[in-house]
Amino acid sequence: MAEQAQVKNPLEYEWMVRPCFQYKDEYSDCTSIKSRFNQYFVHGENTNCESWQTDYNNCKLWKQLQDETAFNALVQSEEKRRMDRLRPHYANSVWKKRQEPPKNWNTPLPDWLQEENAVSFLGVKVEEMQANKIIEKRTMCTIS
């Protein structure tokens, strides 16, 4: 009984675990015809989607039975996925990474840019929020 109470405490890496339905959705998306065509076009071969299925099964085990082995496998899989996603960022040697923001990061915009933004959609919404009212209906043309 003490083991079950210990497992139910929030774990350090529990924030990494997604809701279980997301793993199932990712698997379904990965194995869809549209994704298979995209994978073949981009990579020249189909991607192995079994990791999403495994993660879904581990998530169910963790949520239903508080299985720590399944939880650890799930966290390890998420860490691997995160490192794969961030690898190009860490390998980038073109841009110098800043330690702090530039000294003038919050200076006011130039007058011409403030005038241009005043009639933009965002400018209208800021004006509405500052006045705490809805300004007359204006038509905004957007091209999508």
pLDDT the model gives residue 86: 94
* DSSP structural state of residue 137: -
Instruction: Report if residue 106 sits inside a domain.
Output: no
Per-residue tokens: 124 = 């209208």
46: alpha, beta or left, given left = phi > 0 and alpha = psi -120 to 50?
A: beta
Q: Report the candidate in 18, 30, 8, 9 with the shortest Cα–Cα distance to residue 77.
A: 18
Q: Is the pTM value of this prediction over 0.75?
A: no
pLDDT the model gives residue 142: 63
Neighbours of 59 (CB within 10 A): 23
Residues 31 and 83 in one domain: yes
Instruction: Report if residue 86 sits inside a domain.
Output: yes
At 63-107, the pLDDT tens digits run 999 999 999 999 999 999 999 999 999 999 898 888 999 999 999
Residues 21 and 75 in one domain: yes
Residues 60 and 29 in one domain: yes
Mean pLDDT of the chain: 86
CA distance to 67, 69, 70, per residue, from 1 (Å): 14, 18, 19
pLDDT the model gives residue 50: 97
Residue 1's pLDDT band (cuts 50, 70, 90): very low
Instruction: Report if residue 120 sits inside a domain.
Output: yes
Instruction: Report if residue 103 sits inside a domain.
Output: no
Residue 8's pLDDT band (cuts 50, 70, 90): very low
Q: Which domain holds residue 49?
A: 2-6+16-91
Query: Which one has a higher pLDDT value, 13 or 48?
Result: 48
Of 102-111, 121-130, 134-143, minimum mean pLDDT range: 134-143
Q: Report the candidate in 67, 140, 45 with the shortest Cα–Cα distance to residue 75.
A: 67
